[in-house]
Structure 1
Amino acid sequence: MNPSTSSQPPEEDELLDGWHFLSSESPQPPDPGASRELRETEDRGQLKSRFISAWNSVKYGWSLKQKSKFSKSSPVIMFGQSYELKDHGDRERFRRCFSSLLWLTYRRGFSPLPGGSLTSDSGWGCVLRTGQMLLARGLLLHLMPPGWTWCVSHHAVKDDLDLLHSTDGAESAQEVKESSKQRNRKLSLGSLLDRPMEAKHRRVVSWFADHPTAPFGIHQLVELGKSSGKKAGDWYGPSIAAHILRKAVAASADLPNLVVYVAQDCTVYLEDVRRLCERPPPQGWRSVIILVPVRLGGQDLNRSYISYVKRLLTLQYCIGIIGGKPKHSLFFTGFQDEHLLYLDPHYCQPTVDISQENFPLESFHCKYPRKMSFSRMDPSCTIGFYAKGQRDFESLCTAVSEALSTSAETYPIFIFAEGRSQEEEERGNTPTNNMAYIQRKKGRKSVKTSSSMDEFVLL
């Protein structure tokens, strides 16, 4: 996708100077010997993959280096937080929070994907990459302390507290103060990242590595997609991506206290979620990521659906939205006025060898927020939510239900319903009428449903 920037008058906007695209710090390609050996064995499919990779790097790299403009007169909303960009403190908090998100993009130079010879996902893997980003957002909330951020200066120490922004408090501040005494001294990444939270952060990044053993890497996601009739090189819809993420988390031994639930027929069945999360004492309630595949009307979003999306992105429980047309999927994180904020996976970077000690992290973070008009958002998408515990889950249900019921003109884009889904009822030999019900203040409307994971109920 080649999103355009805002057309607002320059006097109402400010380019956020220094918010740059982190491509210059990306890891280097594999060594020449390995590259020659790879070139000798690659077939036409690999050559095509390399060509597409190079083309996307030029096409989308140029687009990503363009700067979006942000208005000072209205707040930026991201993951339930509001930031007034005219306020220096809020602007800096927004910088840190945005640059702390994991940015998963196309990669090249990894080992061949299952069932073929592709060594890059450039040109077809954007939905899987946006799915990775949504899952990564949930994992950071699940594993890191509240308010955690990651921010590393690329050059020398500038000011006492400009370099490190974390929840380590006085310890981090003291480190920076001591280091700043030597103005011309470059501070190594290793010394910056030698902190307990960074070890956990680095571990989460490694789970998304482009390696067959990574639980949420591209190799594993492609393998899990085979059961849905997909293979490397195919386009994965937002709904299928949601089910692949559910299977990946279920198969991982690293997250025993987290489950993923995927809504069916635009309905979150509460009994199904509780059955997934409840465990006998002393284990307690599991945390849950809820993924809701939806289609927001027809080809274009109307004002009612845009209002729904805004209200959901305003909630602290929302962990983002993945979606877009084939080969043009984005990860939406928030909005300002009539524009969505997003992370773009359409930039092909060299793969990172996560087996190296202190492997480079810069290419997994983007300090450059982008915007696009709501009118350009494709109606097919998957919305994500996260609840840490049972109390959070109940609060999530209340908050989302209120956000979805404030419009009397349209049916909600999805609902919460007591009971079990049709699939669970069939497993228990319980009769079902193959209908999903969309609740309203006055009565309810029945909708015929389909078992296909890539079809949606049009509301």
Structure 2
Amino acid sequence: MNPSTSSQPPEEEEDDWLFLSSASAQPPGPSREPQETEDRGPLRSRFISAWNSVKYGWSLKKTSKFSKRSPVIMFGQSYELKDHGDRECFRRVFSSLLWLTYRRGFSPLPDGALTSDSGWGCVLRTGQMLLARGLLLHLMPPGWTWCASHHAVKDDLELLRSTESAERGQEVKEGPNKRSRKLSLGSLLDRPMEATHRRVVSWFKDHPSAPFGIHQLVELGKSSGKKAGDWYGPSIAAHILRKAVAASTDLPNLVVYVAQDCTVYLEDVRRLCERPPPQAWRSVIILVPVRLGGQELNRSYISCVKKLLTLQCSIGIIGGKPKHSLFFTGFQDDHLLYLDPHYCQPTVDITKENFPLESFHCKYPRKMSFSRMDPSCTIGFYAKCHRDFESLCTVVNEALSTSASTYPIFIFVEGRSQEEEERSNMPTNNMAYIQRNKGMQSVNSSNSMDEFVLL
């Protein structure tokens, strides 16, 4: 339903649709808006970024309206927007998601002068958002929202300022404000949840030192024949994320598994997650690159995707329109809910104390019809412990059975993949390894990441 073309009278239309916040009517301007005073990149970088934007498409900001008649489903939770409490809860949860977008003015990317990923880095940015969702589930307590934490810090800062102002003007009596006088900005920001939140954001900063920043992802993409300025597919992005987490020393208790040929090999996952006591299991993010049919999704696949997005173990889907990747977080009726990375923002200096977080969180949910979704995508899940993994297998299998009239989107099978079997039987000396590569005729799935099984 499009409110602008509805035949209903205006009064009834307002009852059917709502903006999630009054600020939604005035979102920040699109990335094509010139802001040369903030862009520190060279002229060549700006020209290449502009050309890539023309080549891969501009993104114009717009707002979406949501029906009061149907619930919004996001990450296993249902929100009735006609209920004020549910609507506010949905707003807080959505605003707590990390929003990673194009940036400009960062240090040059490897092997080039590019100081912006505008126009070509959208898949890497949606991959960052997918990983960030898994990291927040991994590190934060259940039910954490940035809005609540952010407002608590702001309230305490206001209390601190008012108390300090009172102390400068007059003697403050001992009482409930005694503790607030001892607060400082540093101690407020050192709160465990806020500190963890900022640490996760710092892992995605646009700097070569960040484990999941654009520089590191581009570097890891070289093994797939990609370089800065190229367009990355959702399957390649999944393998880059796997390598990035494996290379990071910040997350020893988390691994990423990427399905092969639309198949999750359960023994491979268990071998990846198992570790010696006392910590006998690593948490796991499971990424499944798929292609959902031909040029568009049929009703059976749409139903299955909906089912997967209703699961609490879901961490979203990266895909979108052709060469225009989005991060899908949920749905309402026949529309997908998403975060859009196609807005170019200035790079934030995360080394500064109390760096601003607002540009890493989006207040404006948007929707897109399922019929516009590109069939090539990567679906993500998260399991914190072994019991969660077994539960994940059960509920995902039930959701996949929704597409029983067609071939399943992907499958779980016991056993190990052929690649893992070959790897475990491979001699350890380097000469034998080189010989194996020279004589191997089959395609290594890790180096053919854009290949899909057509369902």
> Which TM-score applies when normalising by structure 1?
0.81
Cα distance in 1 between the residues matched to 2:4 and 2:268: 43
CA offset at residue 365 of structure 1? 0.3
Q: Note closer, same or farther for the CA distance 1:252–1:150 as it changes in structure 2 (3 Å cut).
A: same
Q: Note closer, same or farther for the CA distance 1:30–1:357 as it changes in structure 2 (3 Å cut).
A: farther
- Asked if residue 13 in structure 1 is aligned to residue 44 in structure 2, the reply is no
- Asked if residue 322 in structure 1 is aligned to residue 314 in structure 2, the reply is no
Aligned length: 407
* 1:360-439 matches, cutoff 5 A: 360-429=356-425
- Residue among 226, 236, 241 paired with 1:240: 236
- Asked if residue 109 in structure 1 is aligned to residue 113 in structure 2, the reply is no
Amino acid at match of 1:369: P
CA offset at residue 148 of structure 1? 0.3
Amino acid at match of 1:138: G
SS in 1 for 2:317: strand
SS in 2 for 1:293: strand
- Asked if residue 51 in structure 1 is aligned to residue 55 in structure 2, the reply is no
For 2:193, the equivalent position in structure 1 comes to 197
SS in 1 for 2:146: coil
CA contact (8 A) 1:83 1:90 kept: yes
Amino acid at match of 1:18: S
Q: Note closer, same or farther for the CA distance 1:302–1:179 as it changes in structure 2 (3 Å cut).
A: farther
SS in 1 for 2:402: coil
1:195-237 per-position Cα deviation (integer Å, ceiling 9, x unaligned):
3211110000000000000000000000000000000000000
1:167-212 per-position Cα deviation (integer Å, ceiling 9, x unaligned):
xxxxx89959958999xx9xx9989755321111000000000000
Whose helix fraction is larger, Structure 1's or Structure 2's?
Answer: 2
SS in 1 for 2:91: helix
For 1:211, the equivalent position in structure 2 comes to 207
For 1:256, the equivalent position in structure 2 comes to 252
For 1:339, the equivalent position in structure 2 comes to 335
Cα distance in 2 between the residues matched to 1:232 and 1:415: 34
For 1:228, the equivalent position in structure 2 comes to 224
Cα distance in 1 between the residues matched to 2:413 and 2:5: 42
CA contact (8 A) 2:322 2:374 kept: no
* 1:155-194 matches, cutoff 5 A: 163-164=151-152, 175=156, 193=189
Q: Note closer, same or farther for the CA distance 1:272–1:119 as it changes in structure 2 (3 Å cut).
A: same
> Which TM-score applies when normalising by structure 2?
0.82
CA offset at residue 116 of structure 1? 0.8
CA offset at residue 302 of structure 1? 0.5
Amino acid at match of 2:67: S
CA offset at residue 47 of structure 1? 3.6
Cα distance in 2 between the residues matched to 1:6 and 1:416: 44
For 1:443, the equivalent position in structure 2 comes to none
1:78-121 per-position Cα deviation (integer Å, ceiling 9, x unaligned):
00000000001100100000000000000000011001110000
For 2:176, the equivalent position in structure 1 comes to none
Cα distance in 2 between the residues matched to 1:265 and 1:369: 33
> How well do the aligned residues superpose, as a CA RMSD in angstroms?
3.2
Q: Note closer, same or farther for the CA distance 1:449–1:360 as it changes in structure 2 (3 Å cut).
A: same
CA offset at residue 50 of structure 1? 5.0
- Residue among 67, 74, 78 paired with 1:78: 74
- Residue among 272, 276, 279 paired with 1:283: 279
- Asked if residue 100 in structure 1 is aligned to residue 96 in structure 2, the reply is yes
CA offset at residue 153 of structure 1? 11
Identity of aligned residues (%): 78
Q: Note closer, same or farther for the CA distance 1:368–1:7 as it changes in structure 2 (3 Å cut).
A: farther
Q: Note closer, same or farther for the CA distance 1:54–1:394 as it changes in structure 2 (3 Å cut).
A: closer
Q: List gaps (5 residues or longer) in structure 2.
A: 167-183, 427-441
SS in 2 for 1:416: strand
CA contact (8 A) 1:49 1:120 kept: no
Cα distance in 2 between the residues matched to 1:30 and 1:354: 21
Cα distance in 2 between the residues matched to 1:298 and 1:6: 31
Amino acid at match of 2:22: G
Q: Note closer, same or farther for the CA distance 1:17–1:403 as it changes in structure 2 (3 Å cut).
A: same
1:347-376 per-position Cα deviation (integer Å, ceiling 9, x unaligned):
000001111111111000001100010000
CA contact (8 A) 2:255 2:284 kept: yes
- Residue among 438, 449, 452 paired with 1:453: 449
SS in 2 for 1:234: coil
Cα distance in 1 between the residues matched to 2:270 and 2:361: 34
CA contact (8 A) 1:208 1:215 kept: yes
